[in-house]
Amino acid sequence: KNYIHKLVIDSTNNFAKEMASKVPDGTVIIAEEQIAGRGRLGRSWISQKGCGIWMSIILKPNIQPQEALNLTQVAAISVVKAIEEVFHVESKIKWPNDIILNNKKVCGILTEMSSEIDKINYVIIGIGVNVNCDNFPEELKGKATSLYLETNSKVDRKKLTASILNNLEFYYNAYLQKGFEYIRPICIEKSITIGRQIKVIANEGEIEGKAVTIDNNGSLVVETKEGKRLSIMSGDVSVR
Ligand code: BTN
């Protein structure tokens, strides 16, 4: 296995992008602190020193670019399983990639890729887990939390990192061999989105409706007031 450990870095996803063509599939980049951690939709991700897991995994799967969403979901279930193993609590997935515990976010996933029309060059799965963090800026307090704040136990970040990576290896291989069908039931079981009234800001515009399921492609199926069913591949979801 190939690991690169950094004390301080701008963003492990940025570094992963620079390294991607030079390192083998499965290379993991971990930092103690990020000074320009990035979240989805151009947001920033607070990544204080030593309190969380800030890591990126470089993957080179032989799948179609539109299937990259599934890798985000593979990562999400791996984090949920790892939290279960290490903390014995059940966290949930806000489709497609926020990990929620007690209604607050403990982990975010930022998937980025470089691809051609029908071929992926590489995918970077960036995972940020608030493990032992205990101070969040005022404006995040209602929304963000850490595993320590929610469970009152501080764990060795190495233990959780190992469990996330073991689960990721297992579910990633299962996905490559057996397809999304294999992980779909777990995504559905752990979803906090399904069954709820939601609002999605998608490329197509704003969509309101009830999230009914996750389909065979990993898209979120939303039923609008008018009874129309829409499949959403990406977007910013808020649960009502
Ligand atoms: C989100 O919820 O918006 C995604 C947050 C992803 C944060 C992780 S931390 C490691 C990796 N490097 C980054 O700059 N971002 C991701």
Domain coordinates in residue numbering, the chain: 3-189, 197-239
Could you identify the atom of ligand 1 that is nearest to the CA of residue 39? 3
Residue whose Cα lies nearest atom 9 of ligand 1: it is: 128
Count of C-beta atoms within a 10 Å radius of residue 159? 13
CATH 3.30.930.10 assigned to domain 3-189? The reply is yes
Q: Which tens digit of pLDDT belongs to each residue from 99-130?
A: 999 999 999 999 999 999 999 999 999 999 99
- pLDDT value of position 52: 98
Distance 222 CA to ligand 1 centre (A): 26
Tokens standing for residue 231 = 């499949």
- pLDDT value of position 234: 85
Q: What is the ipTM of this complex?
A: 0.99
Q: Given the structure tokens 């279960």, which residue do they identify? A: 84
Probe residue for ligand 1, chosen from 4, 6, 47, 146 as the CB with the greatest number of ligand atoms within 8 Å: 47
State residue 51 phi and psi, 5-degree precision. -100, -15
- pLDDT value of position 220: 96
Distance 228 CA to ligand 1 centre (A): 34
- Measure the CA dihedral 107/154/145/134, to 10°: -130
Tokens standing for residue 66 = 């539109």
Distance 158 CA to ligand 1 centre (A): 18
- pLDDT value of position 180: 97
Low pLDDT (below 50) residues in the chain: none
The answer to whether 155 and 86 have CB atoms below 8 angstroms apart is: yes
Could you identify the atom of ligand 1 that is nearest to the CA of residue 34? 14
Q: Which tens digit of pLDDT belongs to each residue from 38-61?
A: 999 899 999 999 999 999 999 999
Q: 197-239 is classed in which CATH architecture?
A: Roll (2.30)
Q: With left for phi above 0 and alpha for psi between -120 and 50, is residue 21 left, alpha or beta?
A: alpha
Distance 220 CA to ligand 1 centre (A): 22
- pLDDT value of position 178: 97
